[in-house]
Structure 1
């Protein structure tokens, strides 16, 4: 009988396992797929130290009309999904009001502040191959219009004062000096200098998993079901095999409701789906650093597999058929800025970002079940916050003082507690 069973072998589950193993706990990790092949795999590869402001629901009429009329590349929705998505989305809109959002940022910023520190810890422990995946340059938030750039500079200056976030303002000539193959005459960019970028997010998560196994962790591949309390501990069935442990962690991302709802936890979770595709760069053409085009709504990043285009948010049911409409729009817009070659993947990758209406993850003990813990709901920042979440969960589970105040991330906030 292990000390801990962790359901979900994405970056949150793996990082939680590492931190528990370091504290002398025995850990079994369970997933139906290979570690790090789901949401942890298909992202832009940013460790977003600058991301102190989670993605709010748009409240200006122009953006709402663009999304409502399916004119936006940054966000789209599936009409048939709206009846089920409407309640959490309405709360998401409410929590994005200026007064609510200010409180969210104050709670969220300390968590983001742990991102680089906790990744750096795991990168060093994982060895030189993990280190080779990392760039500490930062990334470019690039603008097509001077007015939008000026607006964002005001926000960047405020975040520098309030949270110590570093940035540089680049005009078009300065940006071209760093990215000589850009075309299109952008107004300029904000160079966020604090974040790190990763040339293969899946490979980094795999390196963390190798560290987990090196520390003595076990992995069981299979579909988990029937999680329940048993003899002051927890049991779960994995493809007919029963596993037992004193404590259990649900780190299943968008699949967490499949385990939580049978236990009586009906949380207002929803998903933002996203897509990516890799492209060949023409001979002699290089994209040196990640570039986000916010006025359209996509990111373009140099990866080991090619230049990766990642899309914005698609509001749809988790398991609905892929509809990579945004990817086509993003590709067209990206070709205005950079000479992309042909597609390299046979089909677009699709993933689902697990979200909460108040934009903050759940990092918490389950309020009605002793020994059950949850780390889910990281939305756009799951890759960034995986190691920090693992650290906090391990601290809670072993009775240590937590690195930051975890009260804002408690599950009970959605249950009137």
Structure 2
């Protein structure tokens, strides 16, 4: 008999997990409250980032900390009223970003990133989604001499330590590469290996269609109704209760709602982000991210997508439009971006773990329940790679990546042992 599984969550991570389980002979039901790929997976930068071998660390540089504290930049914002609630997670995040701990964490993160293109390629080819994907990399651009010097040093470091190619562009070379860019920048780094996707939500939907074409089922339901049975797991859906031997929690920033109710106190938090599309008629040879300004310029099917950096806030707190308003202003300094497409900008949340690594593995206190969340900025990039890892562990196969760094049991009683 085929094994059976419920996958809770229809973003890139959940859909990829469902497909990989299906490939291993599982009878899979994907449970999603809306349509696949319409939440966090829709609103990202649409980049499959092979170069992103180092997770985003909490700054330890005093000057940067002062800049963040006084909200002097656009790359990081925070809601003062939420700080008391999220401060313990941020302290842990800061502590794990210390040099020695960060080096160990990076090894675990890079082990996943190195497979992102090959695992996406499998699903892109199977889903016939090549029309959504551009194999042309992206360009990191800089406004300040210090930013360019730091960016060039990082490119040399990644090439030396991880074999990641990054081409350093001086100001004149960048201007020739992107003639539509009418603000003079100090330089840039072109990362040739990543893919860009013109409609991230549509790619997730194509993967979901591939899953359905293979016999999978997608139902609308409330993941919070998940319950343990003697024979497995059940959840209530619009089609009635659905049961399976195993269940996977892949709910992204909503995972904490369910895991907390089951007694797991993982150090989870979110980084919120915003975007807006503009009726831009120009041309970029590659998507661009202005690192100094904390704004991305991304050609999409809906128009030019302008995104923000990170906002530290509670997931369901009211939106603060400060960053997206400033991002639009900064974007207009570089391109003639035209009028906004949407009346209201999009807002979403990235699911983060304080040690910057996703949580992937079987729940310590619940047989047949699996965790698969916490990808932070790289859920869209890593979904197929970690989906394969999760499916292999569930099937009892030898994992193609060492799963030890991502195990849920790295947290003591649901939390990592903490020195303070």
Q: Work out whether the TM-score is over 0.5.
A: yes
1:177 maps to 176
1:154 Cα offset (Å): 1.7
Change (3 A) 1:47 1:147: same
Q: TM-score, normalised by structure 1?
A: 0.96
1:360 maps to 357
2:323 aligned with 1:326:
yes
1:276 maps to 275
1:13 maps to 14
Q: Which ranges in structure 1 are unaligned for 5 or more consecutive residues?
A: none
**Structure 1 residue corresponding to 2:386, chosen from 384, 389, 392:** 389
Partners of 2:274 and 2:348 within 8 A in 1? yes
2:341 aligned with 1:344:
yes
Question: SS at 2:189's partner residue?
Answer: strand
1:190-229 superposed matches below 5 A: 190-229=189-228
1:287 Cα offset (Å): 2.4
Question: SS at 1:220's partner residue?
Answer: strand
Question: SS at 2:43's partner residue?
Answer: coil
1:378 maps to 375
1:140-151 superposed matches below 5 A: 140-151=139-150
Q: Deviations over 1:40-80 (max 9, x none)?
A: 00011110100011100111122212221222211111111
2:167 maps to 168
1:97 Cα offset (Å): 0.8
1:231-270 superposed matches below 5 A: 231-238=230-237, 241-270=240-269
Q: Deviations over 1:141-176 (max 9, x none)?
A: 111123321222122112112111011112223222
**Structure 1 residue corresponding to 2:396, chosen from 380, 383, 399:** 399
Partners of 2:221 and 2:236 within 8 A in 1? no
1:31 Cα offset (Å): 0.9
Question: SS at 1:261's partner residue?
Answer: helix
Partners of 2:155 and 2:168 within 8 A in 1? no
CA distance in structure 2 between the partners assigned to 1:164 and 1:194 by the alignment: 11
Partners of 1:288 and 1:302 within 8 A in 2? no
1:86 maps to 87
1:345 Cα offset (Å): 1.0
CA distance in structure 2 between the partners assigned to 1:313 and 1:354 by the alignment: 12
1:240 Cα offset (Å): 8.5
2:127 aligned with 1:126:
yes
1:102 maps to 103
Q: Deviations over 1:179-235 (max 9, x none)?
A: 111011111110011111111111111110110101111011132333222113111
CA distance in structure 2 between the partners assigned to 1:10 and 1:106 by the alignment: 26
RMSD of aligned alpha carbons? 1.4
Question: SS at 2:370's partner residue?
Answer: strand
Q: Deviations over 1:337-393 (max 9, x none)?
A: 112111111210111100000111111111111111111001100100111111001
Name the count of aligned residue pairs.
Answer: 413
1:52 maps to 53
1:26 maps to 27
Question: SS at 2:92's partner residue?
Answer: helix
Question: SS at 1:174's partner residue?
Answer: helix
CA distance in structure 2 between the partners assigned to 1:341 and 1:25 by the alignment: 48
Which stretch has the larger CA shift, 285-294 or 401-410?
Answer: 285-294
Q: Which ranges in structure 2 are unaligned for 5 or more consecutive residues?
A: none
1:275 Cα offset (Å): 0.5
1:114 maps to 115
Q: Deviations over 1:320-353 (max 9, x none)?
A: 1111210011111111111211111121011110
CA distance in structure 1 between the partners assigned to 2:365 and 2:110 by the alignment: 28
Partners of 1:66 and 1:72 within 8 A in 2? yes
1:239 Cα offset (Å): 5.2
Question: SS at 2:360's partner residue?
Answer: strand
Partners of 1:224 and 1:239 within 8 A in 2? no
Partners of 1:140 and 1:291 within 8 A in 2? yes
Question: SS at 1:40's partner residue?
Answer: helix
Partners of 2:308 and 2:327 within 8 A in 1? yes
